[in-house]
């Protein structure tokens, strides 16, 4: 059962409560380069990113935020460190959420100015604490970075916001250590009502970063903990979005796009399975309709092992079959397999879309 958390609104996206778990990412461009930043925002939007965070390192970058805001209707988050005035500038620019780090903006008077600005526009604040921003007193208390130190640092800042009568809050406790990240979120989930932003920070390059993120985020989501996710990779942020949706899809939390079921390579395979899978993947990449597609290398076992797939193919030497829900519907030459599969995929997608339109 999913943890019951307070519902927070970010433009037209809700986080928490029973709202769908949203997928976030962050631009990697120099925000002062407006053209490059907008270009990346558009690429993230195309990939389905629902909330986009933008770094605001200095006042020069902050002055560009209005122009960036005008370029998109996607909810935008200003990532603020050290200088509280940058947060106020982002609020004035029309940004939809402010992310602050209590490790580098902690003076109550400065926090109050940020809170007052956010209250005036009904903008939420995300308190983001990571392993590198645990308060020194908790590093000393626990002898170094620990899940407990992460949580207590976050709770201190939450208390400060609550004392200012501000509860429009999202919380993130992150670490590059997967186990620490999991434990910290498990602890804080029982202590606060606010929605949780999940992520393994500084997860690294793919595939290592993908594995860490899938394990950390996946375990918590499976336990019902988490309301929005960001996969942090040393890679194109568009990949972060794709992996985020794959994590949700694999847990059957959200269904978006195709799910390819394909068998591992083995000595029984008599077709170029790797090339066929890549071609199917490429030709279906823009399909948003949820669809299970099987690409199997063995005619004997393929349909049975992928019985729950909406549609699939299984190949043999020079020949293959197309099947739906485990039932064979046609036999074709090997070089016609992908075209025959795509023909059936297009039919199914059209039928599903027509049915969806009718129900609306």
Domain-by-domain residue ranges, the chain? 8-250, 258-359
Q: What is the side-by-side strand order in the sheet with 76-80?
A: 169-174, 125-130, 97-100, 76-80, 51-55, 22-26, 228-230, 197-198
How many residues make up the chain in this entry? Answer: 360
Measure the CA–CA gap between 187 and 309, rounded to whole angstroms. 38
Backbone angles phi, psi at 294, to 5 degrees: -105, 135
Least confident of 17-31, 60-74, 131-145, 234-248: 131-145
Return the pLDDT at 14.
97
Q: Return d(Cα 350, Cα 357) in angstroms, integer.
A: 11
SS3 331: strand
Q: What percent of the chain has pLDDT over 70?
A: 97
In angstroms, what CA-CA distances link 218 with 50, 185, 209, 223, 275? 19, 12, 13, 9, 29
Q: What is the mean pLDDT of the chain?
A: 92
Is 12 exposed, middle or buried, given 0-12, 13-18 or 19+ CB atoms closer than 10 A?
Answer: exposed
**Pairwise pLDDT comparison (256 vs 31), residue with the higher score:** 31
pLDDT over threshold 90, residue 133: no
Residues 6+ apart with CB under 8 A from 331: 319, 320, 321, 322
Query: Is domain 8-250 in CATH 3.40.630.30, yes or no?
Result: no
- Whether 230 contacts 24, CB under 8 Å: yes
Q: Please, which residues have CB within 8 angstroms of residue 323's CB and are 6 or more apart in sequence?
A: 294, 302, 303, 306, 309, 311, 312, 313, 314, 329
Would you place residue 360 in the very low, low, confident or very high pLDDT band (cuts 50, 70, 90)?
A: low
DSSP 257: S
Average pLDDT over residues 54-70: 97
Strand pairing category for 22-26 and 76-80? unpaired
Number of other residues whose CB lies within 10 A of the CB of residue 225: 20
Q: What is the pLDDT of residue 352?
A: 84
- The highest-confidence range among 38-47, 253-262, 293-302, 324-333, by mean pLDDT, is 38-47
pLDDT at 224 over 80: yes
pLDDT tens per residue across span 108-124: 899 999 999 999 999 99
Q: What is the pLDDT of residues 189-207, one digit of tens each?
A: 999 999 999 999 999 999 9
pLDDT for 303: 67
CATH class of 258-359: alpha beta
What's residue 257's pLDDT?
87
Q: Which of 28, 54, 70 is nearest to 238 (CA)?
A: 28
Q: What is the spatial distance between Cα 171 and Cα 5, in angstroms, rounded to a whole number?
A: 11
- Give the predicted TM-score (pTM) of the model: 0.91
Lowest mean pLDDT among 27-31, 134-138, 145-149: 134-138
- Return d(Cα 181, Cα 318) in angstroms, integer: 50
Looking at residue 300, what is its pLDDT? 66
- The confidence score (pLDDT) of residue 110 equals 92
CA dist list (Å): 306 to 141, 174, 253, 264: 53, 37, 21, 13
What's the rounded Cα separation, in Å, for the pair 208 and 212? Answer: 6
Tell me the C-alpha distance between 256 and 246, whole Å: 9
Predicted confidence band at 301 (pLDDT cuts at 50, 70, 90)? low
- What DSSP element (H or E) covers 54? strand 51-55
Alpha-carbon gap, residue 300 to 163, rounded angstroms: 67
**Crossing angle between the packed helical segments 34-46 and 237-250, to the nearest 10 degrees:** 20
Which residue from 178, 179, 78, 193 is spatially nearest to 126, judged by alpha carbons? Answer: 78
Residues 226, 184: Cα–Cα separation, whole Å: 12
Q: Is the pLDDT of residue 306 over 80?
A: no
């Amino acid at each position: 059962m999913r943890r019951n958390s307070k519902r927070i609104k970010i433009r037209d996206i809700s986080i928490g409560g029973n709202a769908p778990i949203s997928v976030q990412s962050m631009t990697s461009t120099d925000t002062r380069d407006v053209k490059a930043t907008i270009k990346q925002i558009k690429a993230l939007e195309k990939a389905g990113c629902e909330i986009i965070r933008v770094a605001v390192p200095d006042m020069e970058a902050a002055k560009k935020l209005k122009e960036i805001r005008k370029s998109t209707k996607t909810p935008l988050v200003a990532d603020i460190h050290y200088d509280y005035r940058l947060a106020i500038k982002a609020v004035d620019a029309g940004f939809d959420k402010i992310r602050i780090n209590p490790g580098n903006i902690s003076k109550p008077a400065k926090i109050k100015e940020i809170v007052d600005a956010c209250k005036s526009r009904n903008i939420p604040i995300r308190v983001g604490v990571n392993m590198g921003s645990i308060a020194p007193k908790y590093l000393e208390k626990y002898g170094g970075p620990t899940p407990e130190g992460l949580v207590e640092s976050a709770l201190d800042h939450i208390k400060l916001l609550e004392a200012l009568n501000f509860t429009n809050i999202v919380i993130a406790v992150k670490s590059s250590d997967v186990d620490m990240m999991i434990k910290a979120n498990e602890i804080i989930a029982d202590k606060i009502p606010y929605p949780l932003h999940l992520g393994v920070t500084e997860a690294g390059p793919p595939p290592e970063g993908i594995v860490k993120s899938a394990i950390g985020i996946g375990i918590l989501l499976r336990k019902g903990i988490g309301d929005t996710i960001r996969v942090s990779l040393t890679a194109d942020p568009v990949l972060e979005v794709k992996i985020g949706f794959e994590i949700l899809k694999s847990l059957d939390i959200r269904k978006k796009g195709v799910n390819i079921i394909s068998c591992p390579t083995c000595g029984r395979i008599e077709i170029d399975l790797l090339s066929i899978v890549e071609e199917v993947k490429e030709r279906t990449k823009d399909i948003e309709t949820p669809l299970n597609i099987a690409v199997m290398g063995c005619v004997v076992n393929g349909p049975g092992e992928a019985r729950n797939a909406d549609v699939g193919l299984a190949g043999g030497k020079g020949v293959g079959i197309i099947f739906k829900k485990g039932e064979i519907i046609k036999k074709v030459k090997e070089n016609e397999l992908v075209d025959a599969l795509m023909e059936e995929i297009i039919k199914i997608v059209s039928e599903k879309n027509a049915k969806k339109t009718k129900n609306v």
